Amino acid sequence: MNPNAVWAAAVLPIVASTGILSDLVKTAGGDQVQVTCLATSTLDPHLYSGRNDYGSALNQAELLVQNGLAYENTWLPVLLTKANNPKIAAQGTGVFDASEGMTLLDPPKKEGARAWADLHPMGDPHYLMDPRNAVKVLRTLGVKLGELRPEQKAYFAVQSEKAARQLEAKIRGWQKRIKPLEGKSFVSYHPSLNYFGAWLGMRPEGVFESRPGFAPEPSFLRALTDQMKKKRVTYLWIEPWRPQASAKIVAQKSKARLRELSSDIQCEKEYVKSNQYSGFIEKNIDTLLRKFN
């Protein structure tokens, strides 16, 4: 028998919902995991259609890694129904919800208490923008991978702990670099960057969207610009896939520094990279620390 065939059979097949999660799984699992990333068509999983053909990967997967907090609810349940794989179905043994045990910035409120309840009904799901939360996920992933492959438990424990410690070392270095940002204020196009701002020690002063998923009305933008001027907001943050024109106008009028930041890693169907998360966070830090032109 070809020894390579035995090796391939032992590799744990995994599907992950987002680019960040795909990278964390691949980093924690090393060469003993095969990762398929689901939301490949966009960097914004809110907008993902779920139309890509992942039948084979979903049928064969022994583990589903999801963000949770209803982040994937508009498309993931449909894919799972089609897959008909009991291991990764709701309450299956092969489901890993990365949000479990997380402290949320914006926990659920009573129905109707806020405009964002329809998009984030269980609270702000963008917790992996705080790298300290990514460390937690690396360690809990190591435990889950070991449960699914008991014979490789020691390997996954060592691999995931090594990855967690490497990221912790990165965080200690970043903490020194981000000191100049502490206490400064920001407005983000969407709440997807609030965890990042909280980790930086910065102060959120509103959201560019008047309603989730809709372009802000001119009257809303005028009021936002006035508010940003009054509060002397330092930064306006926008992700690369958001509409840019109106953000540039508001930044210019309010004298805020417009910065393009990312809230996910580019997702490829067959995710073979690893250790991309720290570079992704570092790029955002570099962007913020760049002198304003």
Residue 116 CA to residue 206 CA, distance in Å, equals: 13
pTM over 0.95: no
The predicted pLDDT at position 4 comes to 37
Domains observed in the chain: 8-107+123-174 (3.40.50.1980), 179-260 (3.40.50.1980)
Residue 231 CA to residue 243 CA, distance in Å, equals: 24
Q: How confident is the model at residue 22 (pLDDT cuts 50, 70, 90)?
A: very high
> Which phi and psi angles does 141 have, rounded to 5°?
-65, -40
Q: How confident is the model at residue 278 (pLDDT cuts 50, 70, 90)?
A: very high
The predicted pLDDT at position 7 comes to 38
Residue 6 CA to residue 26 CA, distance in Å, equals: 20
Task: Work out the average pLDDT over 12-33.
Answer: 96
Question: Widest CA span of the chain, in angstroms?
Answer: 73
Three-state SS for 17?
A: coil
Task: Work out the average pLDDT over 197-218.
Answer: 91
Which of 68-77, 139-148, 191-200 has the least mean pLDDT? 68-77
Element (H, E) at 36: strand 33-37
3-state SS track over 39-69: CCCCCCHHHCCCCCCCHHHHHHCCEEEECCC
Contacts 24+ apart (CB under 8 A), 201-207: 202/235, 205/231, 205/233
Element (H, E) at 192: none
Task: Work out the average pLDDT over 28-40.
Answer: 92
- How many Cβ atoms are within 10 Å of 112's Cβ, its own excluded? 7
Residue 206 CA to residue 52 CA, distance in Å, equals: 35
The predicted pLDDT at position 210 comes to 86
pLDDT tens, residue by residue, 52-110: 668 899 999 999 999 999 999 888 999 999 999 999 998 899 999 999 999 998 776 65
The predicted pLDDT at position 10 comes to 77
pLDDT tops 50 at residue 219: yes
Task: Work out the average pLDDT over 131-158.
Answer: 98
For residue 174, give Cα distances in angstroms to 117, 132, 227, 248, 275.
Answer: 33, 12, 31, 28, 16
Give me 132's structure tokens: 């300290």
Residue 89 CA to residue 58 CA, distance in Å, equals: 10
DSSP 8-class letter at 256: -
pLDDT tops 50 at residue 9: no
Which of 50-54, 197-201, 286-290 has the least mean pLDDT? 50-54
Task: Work out the average pLDDT over 197-201.
Answer: 98
Order of all β-strands in the sheet with 12-16: 95-97, 63-66, 12-16, 33-37, 270-271
pLDDT tops 80 at residue 24: yes
**Top-confidence range, 33-42, 51-60, 176-185:** 176-185
For residue 231, how many C-alpha atoms fall within 13 Å in the half-sphere facing its CB? Answer: 19
pLDDT tops 50 at residue 1: no
Three-state SS for 6?
A: helix
- How many Cβ atoms are within 10 Å of 214's Cβ, its own excluded? 8
Average pLDDT, the chain: 88
User: 208: closest CA among 225, 195, 230?
Assistant: 225
The predicted pLDDT at position 33 comes to 97
The predicted pLDDT at position 161 comes to 98
Residue 36 CA to residue 61 CA, distance in Å, equals: 9
The predicted pLDDT at position 122 comes to 81
The predicted pLDDT at position 46 comes to 64
